[in-house]
Amino acid sequence: MPDLDYGLTGASITSDDAGSLQTAEYAIRLSDILVPASKTLMDTDHVRFPLADLCEYVDAGLREIALHKPNEIQISAELVLIPGAHQTLSNDHAQALRFIRNLATLTTEGGPARVGAGAITTISRQVLDAFNPDWSDSDVVPRAAKVKHVIYDPASPRTYMVYPPNDGTGLIEADIVPILRDCELTDGETTAAGQAFRVNCPEIMTQTLVNYVIYRAYEIDDEVQSSAMKAMKHYQMFAQSLGLKLQGEALNPNSYRRDRKA
């Protein structure tokens, strides 16, 4: 119920503006993708397929993964709340996947680990509306630092609402999909092995991205008759790796799924 008391307390965090601190959970090097892709394409000198083109294909592959398996590129973020019920993600966040808990303090570099300050549940707006139609009105429901419930609709991925309305000192932890940065080639480096850019994707997805890059390269290579078939083969491998992983996660009750509200 909306008036549920979790029996946990925590200190309020004062902030002058909404924002977030975020932690990337993993990252692979661009070279880890480009080197095996170039070898398979038999173009290690990048005559037929320039590094800049392959880099664009990595970006496209990441966007495909973000669309179909957003949890693969999620980060754990600390969200600083603004006064009121309606909240908006910061400009570097694409969408929220789940809201975890209240936090006692912001994490600082080199400081202690995060300290929780009470669980958060995601519920439907209909439940709160039935309980109290004026739940988002701060004149009716007193503002508080601690969040009990979150309303989140994936159809509006960058906004969410909190109950009770926040007093502007709240701090919560959430799993967030970041806005993807385009990959960048290392200045002055002309080899695939020398590309040190960090791609925000777990190591387990390396081969998935390799297959996508190869698929895109063969797709535009109309000089070789077999390229179309090779492109189809590698796209199928790319899609299969996402599909098989999705099937495995469907068995995990804690996994994010698109049919959930968080």
Confidence of residue 245 (pLDDT cuts 50, 70, 90): low
Q: Do the beta carbons of residue 90 and residue 18 sit within 8 Å? A: yes
- Predicted local distance difference test score (pLDDT) of residue 27: 72
Can you give the residue range of the structural domain that contains 231? 26-71+202-249
Exposure of 204 in the CB half-sphere (CA atoms within 13 A)? 8
Domain count, the chain: 2
Tens of pLDDT, residue by residue over 92-122, are 898 899 999 999 877 766 666 777 788 999 9
- pLDDT, tens only, 15-45: 333 444 444 545 789 999 999 999 999 999 9
Q: Does 66 lie in the same domain as 40?
A: yes
4 within some domain? no
Query: Are 63 and 78 members of one domain?
Result: no
What does the DSSP assignment read for 208-222?
HHHHHHHHHHHHH--
